[in-house]
Amino acid sequence: MRVAVLASGGGTNLQALIDALGAAPTAPARISRVISNRPDAGALERARRAGIPTTVLRDPQNPAELLAAIGDAQLVVLAGYLKLVPGAVVARFRQRMVNIHPALLPDFGGPGMYGRRVHEAVLASRATESGATVHYVDEHYDRGPIVAQRRVPVRPDDTADTLAQRVLAAEHALLPEVLLSLAQRIQRETIDESG
């Protein structure tokens, strides 16, 4: 199963995927390309070190350019990708494109809710827990059906930084689990459809 990963930042979730798939030689998925909207994204360097082809989009809102960059990938993972995916791309990968979000959706999601802003909003709300959510991508930020969540407690002495560290650890565990599960499901469906 060929997987395209879209990332805008440092790429720690990409690294978690690289590590998980590399540690499982019989894994049902492999990362075939990494795509970014930013030429300086750390995720691109992580991909290059792992020998994974990279692409930098000229216009992230151009569906033809993004589809060409995804190429023959069968599954798409948004791992810290901060752009809204064009509707034509979402339609092409319906139920085969997932995003990881650093909070328990449906709370603390939507336009502008990423990184430190999410954790600050969680703390301001006085929530007692936060966590990571993997969800299918639809035409809106953070609104697609939830695939899986991992919860972490919010401690009384938490700052946005300390909460972010625990949520990120949950993301690094959750995203590879979900990717492997989805790849296995898609492979089963493909076999069922052909046989």
Active-site residue among 101, 119, 135, 172? Answer: 101
**Domain extent for 56:** 2-194
Residues in the chain: 195
pLDDT, residue 185, reads 87
Distance of CA 133 to the CA centre of its chain: 9
Strand, coil or helix: what is 23?
A: coil
Residue 70 backbone dihedrals phi, psi, to 5 degrees: -65, -35
How far is it, in rounded angstroms, from Cα 67 to Cα 98? 16
Question: Per residue in 105-143, pLDDT tens?
Answer: 999 999 999 999 999 999 999 999 999 999 999 999 999
- Structurally, how many domains does the chain consist of? 1
pLDDT digits (tens, 9 = 90+) for 65-82: 999 999 999 999 999 999
140 as an active site residue: the answer is no
Phi-psi region of 39 (alpha: psi -120 to 50; beta: other; left: phi over 0): alpha
Give the CATH number for residue 65. Answer: 3.40.50.170
| β pairing state of 75-78 and 30-36 | unpaired
Read off the tokens for 67.
């589809």
Per the model's pLDDT, the better-predicted residue between 194 and 164 turns out to be: 164
What mean pLDDT, rounded, does the chain reach? 95
Q: Are 8 and 82 in contact (CB under 8 A)?
A: yes
User: Which pTM value belongs to this model?
Assistant: 0.94
Provide the greatest CA pair distance for the chain.
56
Q: Report the 10 Å Cβ neighbour count for 61.
A: 12
